[in-house]
Amino acid sequence: MILTPLTGLPLVEPGDNIAGLIQDELRRLKIKLENGDVFVIAQKIVSKSEGRLVNLTQVTPSQAAIELADRVQKDARFVELVLRESRSVLRTRPGTLIVEHKLGFICANAGIDHSNVQSPWGNPEDWVLLLPENPDLSASQIRHELETAEGVQLGVIIIDSHGRAWRMGIVGATIGLSGVPGVVDLRGVPDLFGYQLRITQVAAADELAAGASLLMGQAAEKSPVVHVHGFPYLLRESSLHELIRPQNEDLFR
């Protein structure tokens, strides 16, 4: 499997066409797409292109946000945005706010971020970036544009950086996908010695997200898109839903 970061993309602005920017970079790098290729795209450039920037000076916190902000020692306006983007608050402590995002996954601060956010006006510290409203749809639209232009079958994954229960550090995780299997079910497949696997299901999209995230980096690397050739599973239709563990099976709540 070959993972190639697209390092020449410009800084993305609201309204920019992600698929078009990817095509320009593919031509520059002389990459010819083939059936089964996948693009892994950082959430941040998708959010920027979709205008998900918010200035905190334009946010009025609710009483619930004010009270929660006092407990977690965060800006009440920021906490208000987190509550708007969440289904429920799961864990709190000073400096930490863990929620169930309205998209279904568990993450810190509803994925709202200050880093690598360029401010169009005012104080840069007042600007934050929300996750895309519908990452599956965003992935599908980018995929459709690229497939139409290039004439090949592709997959697209949109990723963000998430922490994990019982583990330190953050890893790339899928928050939206199109044409890529989220989970590959290996139950019934024989192992090296003929034993049939009984419970093994591979989070293929998340494994690819983690690998691509290594190339994207977390600071000033400027590599928000990774082209993947040789993904070891067949492409198929999918959605984020298949990666989300149902609450009644969630042992961490």
pLDDT digits (tens, 9 = 90+) for 211-247: 999 999 876 567 999 999 999 999 999 999 999 999 8
Provide the pLDDT for residue 219: 65
Q: How far apart are CA 141 and CA 95, in angstroms?
A: 36
For residues 193 and 56, the model is more confident at 56
Provide the pLDDT for residue 220: 59
For residues 189 and 130, the model is more confident at 130
Give the model confidence (pLDDT) of 91-126 as tens digits.
Answer: 999 999 999 999 999 999 999 998 778 777 788 889
The verdict on pTM exceeding 0.75 is yes
Give the model confidence (pLDDT) of 37-89 as tens digits.
Answer: 999 999 999 999 999 999 999 999 999 999 999 999 999 999 999 999 999 99
Provide the pLDDT for residue 193: 83
Mean residue pLDDT across the chain: 94
Average of per-residue pLDDT across 113-142: 90
Say whether pLDDT at 253 is over 80: no
- Domain 53-129 -> CATH class: alpha beta
- Domain 2-46+133-244 -> CATH class: alpha beta
**In 10 A of CB 77, how many CB atoms?**
20
Which 8-state DSSP code applies to residue 196? B
Q: How many distinct helices (H) and strands (E) make up the chain?
A: 6, 12
Q: Which residues pair with 106 in a beta bridge?
A: 100
Q: Hey, what's the torsion of the CAs at 107, 120, 19, 21, to 10 degrees?
A: -130
For residue 234, give Cα distances in angstroms to 53, 85, 153.
36, 33, 11
> Domains of the chain: which residue ranges?
2-46+133-244, 53-129
Using DSSP bridges, classify how beta strands 154-164 and 37-42 pair: parallel, antiparallel or unpaired. Answer: parallel
Q: What is the CA radius of gyration of the chain?
A: 19
Average of per-residue pLDDT across 176-181: 98
